[in-house]
Structure 1
Amino acid sequence: MPAPHHLLIPYAASRAPGAQEALKGLTLPHLDRLLARLSTADASPGEETSLTPPHERALAQALGLGTQDGLIPWAAWHHMQQGQPTGEAPSNAAWAFITPCQWQVTTDHITLHDPARLGLDEAASRELLAIVAPWFAEDGITLHYDQPTRWLASSPLFATLATASLERVQGRDVRAWMPNAREARTLHRLQSEMQMLLYTHPFNDARGAQGLPAVNSFWVHGTGALPAGLTAPAQPPQVADALRAPALREDWRAWASAWATLDAGPVAELLKQAEQGQPVRLTLSGEHSAQSFHTAPLGLVQRIQRFLRPQRFMDVREQL
């Protein structure tokens, strides 16, 4: 039997009052029809305080990366997928993502703002990378440019260092999400050094003259090394992440609009495949948990129950 087409939808539900209100007037006919055809599969329960969001756990499980909280090796996976040369790093090296960012410090909060607000382009990101890379190198951390708001870093330090997903900490107080103080002494010191270095650096003076926010820190995430012998699955899940941005900025009107677009697009396509008898799998994820559904043979009792009470999104969203 061919592998099922797997659609993964992060931020499908939220317990925020604004999201609950937005759902009242939202109709998702294709999603309801799809759920009515599918059986409940495995769940990934969790807490909003976990370092790894449930959609990342679900995706990591499908890719064979493991699901240890805060130690899903996304940076190492990305490095492998890009086919980048490892250079001096062995195939089992530990990697991390380093995201330059702005921390806003007040008397009772240290808030990490959305890195996209920095307006970094490739030239500015590479300039900043050249400024800070020697400081990281002194602690055995090698930085590599990846994209304007994200660099790759290799070091044995990242092999066992659990870190919070950037999505968990964005817009929140970083102090609740910092890595273990004993295991992350080097990173904590580097963050302090970067704040002092960049506070009066000409790089930020030039940005200020252009009306751009200062870059004064960084966030480490996606840490770990790939499991031995890992190979990419022939048909990885399709991640439909249109809900991510509006959910993170709590724009629930835009979130509801994005849901309607998803329902008419990827969800409708998955429904079509299911109606054609193809095996399909759907994973819906909130901030707490993820729940999967799949095509499976039904017994007589199950068919009767499904007919009398079909599964609908409004019934399952509270589980997320």
Structure 2
Amino acid sequence: MHLFISHAAPTGPNCQAAIAELSLPNLNELLGQLTPTPPMLGSPDTLTPLAERIRANSLGLQGPDGLIPWAATDAQQLGLTKIHGDAGWAWITPCHLTPQSNQVRMEDPLDLYISTQECDTLRNAMKRYFEEDNKITLHPLTNGTWLAFGEVFKDLPTASLERVACNAIDAWMPQQEHAKHLRRLQNEMQMLLYTHAVNDSRTARGLATINAFWISGTGTPGPAPTKPPVRMDHVDGLRKAALQDDAQAWMLAWQEIDNTRLAELLRSVKAGKSEQLTLCGERTAVTLETQDKPWWGRIQQRFSTASSQQLLQTL
């Protein structure tokens, strides 16, 4: 098993301060049983978060910052690249933006709970505008994301949705000259959605309206990977609290993971099975794994290993 825990040490000040208060006995014991490998480095300023880069690597997906070909991979799986080709794909995510005094903030799109009917109705209402001026074709994917194909997306770096969910979007908007048409399209869609019946219904039910969209997942696939994908069990139970910098909820989520997934992993390690654990923050990800060591090496490691709090503070 390769257990991958994202949002293990978010940069929000509340969660950072809460690290010192965490009590994670199973993780502490695992740190004494597993051996760290060289860390992978990231930055909170990149378009592609470190956790997303690691998941892409496990699947054999490569690309520069902001150009991991997630959308093109989905299009390949649906057979759509046989129609349009591999280059020029993007994810389009309906979202809710809130203007503030000096910035525009996006609510977490996962909290919108868009129904299938709403998703289809909005896509049908918006697709004409995408097609007319920008030559962009929309295809269904999920209730929260559509696939889009258009020349404008080719080689256009875009910020991951994780960068803007529960955050200001201003610094993450594409600024390239050929992206100005997309900014104009965004304004047109805000006007269309403002009075749309779907939003009237959502407002009547006390739900947030859908008043914009976010573009991500751009990139062109490279050669097929020579190695099979690495099976990685992604634990994202820390995500919501981390994005909101809710320290109390984040600590409770960590305790739940320690009591369940990490307790299971520890039992497996003690049973002599080969296991891996990756803890991923914004700046650093550390992978720990079982390695054969002489008995004195195992004893030495247990006495020299940092605590879970010390390790998380380095991420």
**What residue is the counterpart of 1:258 in the other structure?**
253
**What residue is the counterpart of 1:100 in the other structure?**
94
Is 1:39 the counterpart of 2:39? The answer is: no
Give, as a single letter, the amino acid of the residue that structure 1 aligns with 2:79: P
Could you list the per-position Cα deviations for residues 251-276 of structure 1 after superposition, in whole angstroms to 9, with x for gaps in the alignment? 22222121122112222222233223
Gaps of at least 5 residues in structure 2 are none
**What residue is the counterpart of 1:112 in the other structure?**
106
**What residue is the counterpart of 2:224 in the other structure?**
229
Q: How does 1:10-89 map to 2 (within 5 A)?
A: 10-66=6-62, 68-80=64-76, 83-86=77-80, 89=83
Q: Look up the SS of the partner of 1:285 in the other structure.
A: strand
**What residue is the counterpart of 2:123 in the other structure?**
129
Give, as a single letter, the amino acid of the residue that structure 1 aligns with 2:305: P
Q: How far apart are residue 317 of structure 1 and its match?
A: 0.9
2:271 to 267, 272, 276: 276
Separation in 1, partners of 2:178, 2:281: 30
Identity of aligned residues (%): 39
Q: How does 1:66-215 map to 2 (within 5 A)?
A: 66=62, 68-80=64-76, 83-86=77-80, 89-90=83-84, 92-138=86-132, 139-215=134-210
Separation in 2, partners of 1:66, 1:210: 42
Give, as a single letter, the amino acid of the residue that structure 1 aligns with 2:46: S
Name the Cα RMSD after superposition: 2.5
Separation in 2, partners of 1:231, 1:206: 49
Q: How far apart are residue 278 of structure 1 and its match?
A: 2.6
Q: How far apart are residue 147 of structure 1 and its match?
A: 2.0
Give, as a single letter, the amino acid of the residue that structure 2 aligns with 1:59: R
Separation in 2, partners of 1:299, 1:75: 47
Give, as a single letter, the amino acid of the residue that structure 2 aligns with 1:126: D
| TM-score (normalizing by structure 1) | 0.88
Q: Look up the SS of the partner of 1:258 in the other structure.
A: helix
Is 1:312 the counterpart of 2:307? The answer is: yes
Q: How far apart are residue 45 of structure 1 and its match?
A: 1.5
Q: Look up the SS of the partner of 1:10 in the other structure.
A: strand
Gaps of at least 5 residues in structure 1 are none
Separation in 2, partners of 1:241, 1:53: 14
Separation in 1, partners of 2:203, 2:241: 28
Separation in 2, partners of 1:242, 1:167: 14
Could you list the per-position Cα deviations for residues 4-59 of structure 1 after superposition, in whole angstroms to 9, with x for gaps in the alignment? x2111001113434224433443212211112122221322222121111111111
1:242 to 237, 243, 247: 237
Answer whether contact 2:19 2:313 (CA < 8 A) is retained.
no
Separation in 2, partners of 1:64, 1:222: 15
Give the direction of change, closer, same or farther, for the CA distance of 1:214–1:303 in structure 2 (3 Å limit). closer
Answer whether contact 2:2 2:277 (CA < 8 A) is retained.
yes
Q: How far apart are residue 210 of structure 1 and its match?
A: 4.0
Answer whether contact 1:112 1:173 (CA < 8 A) is retained.
yes
Separation in 1, partners of 2:81, 2:217: 20
Moved over 6 A (4+): none
Answer whether contact 1:61 1:67 (CA < 8 A) is retained.
no
Give the direction of change, closer, same or farther, for the CA distance of 1:306–1:108 in structure 2 (3 Å limit). same
Give, as a single letter, the amino acid of the residue that structure 2 aligns with 1:121: S
Give the direction of change, closer, same or farther, for the CA distance of 1:234–1:61 in structure 2 (3 Å limit). closer
Give, as a single letter, the amino acid of the residue that structure 2 aligns with 1:131: A
Q: Look up the SS of the partner of 2:278 in the other structure.
A: strand
